[in-house]
Structure 1
Amino acid sequence: METGYARELTYRHDDGSFSAFGDRDDSGSMWLTAFVVKSFGQARPFIYIDDSVMEKATDWMISRQNADGSFPEPGRVIHTNMQGASATGSSLTAFVLAALVEQGPIDNRTVVAVQKAITYLTTIDITDMYELAISSYALTVAGDPSASVMFAKLDALATIKDGMKYWHKPEVPGTSPPRWRSPNQQAKSVDIEMTSYALLYYIRTNDITGGIPVMKWITSQRNSLGGYHSTQDTVLALQALSEFATSMFSEDGNIHITVTVEGAIYEFDVSSENALVLQSVALPSVPETVDVSATGSGFALLEVAVYFYVEEDIEEPSFSLSVELSDETLDSMKVQTCFRWLKAGTSGMAIQEFGVLSGFAVNPDSIERLPILKKIEVADRKVVLYLDEIGSDEICTTFELERVAMVAQSQPAAVRIYDYYEPSNESAIVLRSSVSPWEKTANSEM
């Protein structure tokens, strides 16, 4: 946590604000500054947090609050769902409101700013599902009674299915014909965030019974490693699940679980002593049925994870992506990649990853400095470019690969571009070189 705190301070501006790329950005971001303030406030009980850092960031946000109580974004909202479907900025205002309250004890100036934000959220007409979810949560955190009215609107839009409850934001149609989508595919980040905010509302209002079907859905959307699509939806989902687990935890809990699979019996015991320990078993094959029985009292989670592979991507691509190799020699080659956004509007902050071909290394100085290029990370076998939002106009960038070792049977490398906050919006292709050092050597000897 201390390492994370120190690293986060490197993204701080002189005025106390924070942004995705620190001083390389023209202005601090309201959303990111609020996120940092909230995170630092949560870390305060465990590590040292400089009060002046919190005060200066809070002052920066409050000083930019509009007269109507809303909060503007002088920087860039790289998390596009924060904008909702409306131009009013209610999602951002709700996010900042929650951060101001959750950071810990607040002074009189912050109290005034909080009240102005509450007034703004309760006097405008909010209909967007994401805005309703985050506003309901923020008003609950702030202790405003109108939160129940806001949540009632959201509750009317819920999907209830198979004993679970969740919220789904319809997707903007793409330009390609619709493709088959697995019914068990992980939900979009925006759906996980909205549903997590709803669960946090249930927890804050002590409606644990109402939150159980919501908790079940969020849990069902975890990947096999326990996470979700992106950083933000994982943070929110884990916060909601953690707070729910806290409300359900009992020192007296003791559960004995028996799992029967094709005649084999596996037994697990969950108590207060090992409640935080993951117990698992790998099955030798995929069974037709898994029988589970449990005795005792308490609350536990059992998950069955199934892995399988498909020959090709079944998702509609979100980016157009092409890669071309040129000037290929034994010692070097140029790589040009072109890309554009295929869906409506623009992407959020995008990441482009280049796997480096065997025997080569990237020349960092050769990477073309596009106006949208914000940051470059170069590792041994990969170069990562952080890009601003990408639109429908094609953009190309080039760089050079230089030979560092003679490698036989050079393996292909993957090139991938994806939306940072919605990684399922991606496209990927395989990069191959036609030049082999061993073939060149053999030809020269002949």
Structure 2
Amino acid sequence: MSAGDVVGPAFPEVPVGTDNLLGLEVMGAETAAFNFAANLWSLHYLRLTNQIQPGITYEVLTAVNVQYAAMARYQDENGAFRMWPESEPSVWLTAYILRTLWLASFQDWENLIYIDPSIMNRATEWILGFQTSQGAFTETPNYKHPLDSKTNPTPRYQLERDGYKNVSLTAQVVLALVNVLPGLQGTLRGSANSARDRAVGYLERELESLHDPYDVALVSWALTKADSEQKEVAYNMLHRRRREEGNKIYWSREPVDFNPMVYEDSQRPFIQPKNDQKWDAHAVETTAYALLVYMARDGIGIIQENIVRFLAVMRELDGGLISTLDSVAAMEALVEYSYRARLRDVTNMYVTIEHSANPNFSVNVHLDNTFNLASMRSFDLENIWGHISIVGHGSGQALVQLDYSYGVDYEPLLDYPPVPAFDFTVSSKFYGRNNSHLEITTCQKWTDMEEAETSGVAVVEVHLPSGYYVMQDYLIDLVNSRTVRNLRWALRTDTQVKFFFNHLDNEDTCVTYEVERWHPVANHSRYNMARVYDLYQPERFNMTIFEVYPLYGLDVCEVCGSYQRMSGGRSPCQRHLHTGAGRVKQGPAKRPPGDTYVGS
């Protein structure tokens, strides 16, 4: 993949979202907010760099309206937003969505997207009810542990989190209030303005006590946006905490190891893939806020360019970086950088890509200041061995990225996290004729107590055997039963079942559910994959494989036998044996309850 700007490819598809930018099939209010923000930041980027082509604005904003409706689904009558339909309202999430909705406030788009002021007003009024007398903002009593684990410092950086001293949440609310204040009316505008001033005063008083780079960067950006008298003090604190390695500048709780280099017999260096690091998502989001502070203060310079180099190296996917929150923060910073640096005006670059395993493979890419500067150029490699040679010359800045994937069925070959954070076990129990029913139990718990008491939002994903299915209504009933601690939503995709938890603690949380064979498919795989991870710090994960040998041992006629309803005529399996056809005809897509299934 290559793109002619540090922002990355703009609209590889329309619309963009978590699926095509991050490879995540997730849902919830924050997911809808990410989809909303990703499309609007990409559109703002094209607008600011004069790359808007006819029709793209209408197409994108039409899709953004759908995401807007998706976000509104999660708003209560009192204005608060909740992460999932069955979860509790959150101050952090409501402030984050307010910041996101503000992105649509652009005069030229008013005929294509309209943000109802009552949504903004009710959300703002609800948030103001959670400001303390000291000026800080606190979460609702439902969230003793934050949804975003990055706002929960390690013991080394632990602040006195007593309900009156939540610096990161207060900074998030200040950023939201600064954005939405111009659109508020009446007494609410005066109340919000007063609340913002008290919150800024609180951040100024607590500034000197901050040690966590995330808190320092976020508070510095909030004070800069609010034009605080202490913004220069905050900048100096931020500048002292920077880390430098070669031509990269970044902020992180610990040093980050970049792509390792390997020297072979010829002493020619080869860049290897970057491994997951302990604080990847934390470092990206923190550095993005720092870049915004530096550009607001000093414009464009060598320091800003070296910060952008770090963000480019940390990019794990074509369109995103690590996860949703850090990717949106990085988008905002990189769009501002590209606009200020006038990258499109100076871009005139030639990139040559060669592959040692295929002497006939040679790609020449010309990147210039045309309308397709931000288009993604992708090339498939047929023989996956050897090395890739990339040579570029000319002017400008561009991204070149190599993506690869592979499957494993041997546990020692699985990916392992940089820090053990979760215990995770999966068990399966087959029953019914020819194993047509499968009961899956997953047990998971948080183990990295040195970092925090709990995880942030945790996701459990279990890959289903081919042909097996579970109804979404069944999963919703499981969530609503409240029999599983902290389980707030479940989602069935084409190939997986996903469970979403507010957090996981150091006690086992087990989920048991049943799936049934709905389609006559013979499984050729002996193992299926499952994993648990922190949604906003996906480098905190654990994955395992569980055996489905009872299915692996079935032949196609046994699969048909447990699937087919009692009826006249030959079954698909009988037709297969009679005609010698190469594939089995698929049976009914849905199985009405109460039907009897027998062998052929």
Q: Is 1:207 aligned to 2:299, yes or no?
A: yes
Match of 1:374, SS? strand
Matching residue of 1:101 = 178
Q: Structure 1 residues 290 and 351 mapped into 2: Cα distance closer, same or farther (>3 Å)?
A: same
Aligned ranges 1:111-260 → 2 under 5 Å: 111-124=193-206, 125-170=209-254, 184-185=274-275, 188-209=280-301, 210-249=303-342, 252-259=345-352
For 1:31, the aligned partner's letter is: W
Structure 1: give runs of 5+ residues left out of the alignment: 172-181
Matching of residues 10-159 of structure 1 within 5 Å:
10-22=73-85, 24-26=86-88, 28-45=89-106, 46=109, 47-74=113-140, 75-76=142-143, 77-84=146-153, 85-86=158-159, 87=161, 88-103=165-180, 105=182, 106=184, 107-124=189-206, 125-159=209-243
- The answer on 1:302 being equivalent to 2:419 is no
The partner residue of 1:313 within 415, 440, 443 is: 415
Taking structure 1 as reference, are residues 282 and 108 closer, same or farther at Cα in structure 2, changes over 3 Å only? same
Superposed displacement of residue 410, structure 1:
4.5
Structure 1 contact 250–272 (Cα < 8 Å) conserved = no
8 Å contact from structure 1 (residues 41, 104) kept in 2: no
1:59 is aligned with what amino acid? E
Equivalent residue in structure 1 for 2:427, among 321, 324, 329: 324
Give the TM-score of the pair, scaled to structure 1: 0.88
- CA-to-aligned-CA distance 1:412-434 (integer Å, 9 cap, x gap): 32222111111121112223323
Secondary structure of the 2:549 match is: coil
Change (3 A) 1:312 1:38: same
Paired residues of 1:83 and 1:92 also in contact (CA < 8 A): no
Q: 1: distance between equivalents of 2:378 and 2:69?
A: 35
Q: Give, in angstroms, the shift of residue 221 of structure 1.
A: 0.9
Instruction: Write the letter of the residue equivalent to 1:21.
Output: W
Residue 365 in structure 1 maps to residue 474 in structure 2: yes
Describe the SS at the equivalent of 1:3. helix
In the aligned structure 2, how far is the partner of 1:195 from the partner of 1:370?
37
Q: Which shifted more, 202-211 or 312-321?
A: 312-321
**CA distance in 1: counterparts of 2:388 and 2:344, whole angstroms:** 36
Do the aligned partners of 2:344 and 2:368 also contact (CA within 8 Å) in 1? no
Q: Deviations over 1:45-95 (max 9, x none)?
A: 232000111011111111221111100101432012124432220011011
Say whether 1:405 aligns with 2:519. Answer: yes
Residue identity in the other structure for 1:291: V
**For the residues of structure 2 that align with 1:231 and 1:154, how far apart are their CA atoms?**
24
| Partner amino acid, structure 2, of 1:110 | A
Cα offset, 1:103, TM superposition: 2.6
Segments of structure 2 that go 5 or more residues without pairing to the other structure are 1-63, 256-271, 563-598
The number of aligned residues is: 430
Higher mean C-alpha displacement, 274-283 vs 102-111:
274-283
| 1:392 aligned onto 2:506 | yes
Q: CA RMSD in A?
A: 2.7
Give the SS at the match of 1:232. helix
Question: Is 1:355 matched up with 2:470?
Answer: no
> Aligned equivalents of 1:110 and 1:223: distance in 2?
39
Q: 1:275 to 1:342 in 2, by over 3 A?
A: same
Alpha-carbon separation, structure 2, partners of 1:150 and 1:408: 62
Q: After TM superposition, what 4+ stretches of structure 1 lie above 6 angstroms from structure 2?
A: 442-445
How many angstroms does 1:386 deviate by?
0.9
Secondary structure, in 3 states, of the residue corresponding to 1:322?
strand
Comparing 362-371 and 411-420, the one that deviates more: 362-371
Q: CA deviation at 1:441?
A: 4.3
Further displaced range: 80-89 or 12-21: 80-89
The DSSP-based 3-state class of the residue aligned with 1:305 is coil
Higher RCO (C-alpha 8 Å, min separation 6): 2
Give the Cα separation in 2 of the matches to 1:260 and 1:277: 17
Q: Distance in 1 between matches of 2:381 and 2:512?
A: 46
SS class of match (2:169):
helix
Query: What residue identity is the alignment partner of 2:104?
Result: A
Q: Which one of 344, 348, 364 corresponds to residue 266 of structure 1?
A: 364
Distance 1:439 1:9, change over 3 A: closer
Identity level (%): 25
CA 1:405–1:250 in 2, change beyond 3 Å: closer, same or farther?
closer
Residues 79, 119 of structure 2: 8 Å contact kept: yes
Paired letter, 1:204: A
Shift of 1:260: 6.4
Q: Tell me how far apart the structure 2 counterparts of residues 362 and 307 of structure 1 sit (CA, whole Å).
A: 31
d(CA) in 2 for partners of 1:409, 1:308:
22
Q: CA deviation at 1:213?
A: 0.9
Please state how far the C-alpha of 1:36 moved relative to its aligned partner: 0.8
1:279 to 377, 384, 403: 377
TM-score where L is the length of structure 2? 0.67
CA positional deviation for 1:222: 0.7
| Correspondences of 1:369-380 after superposition (within 5 Å) | 369-380=483-494
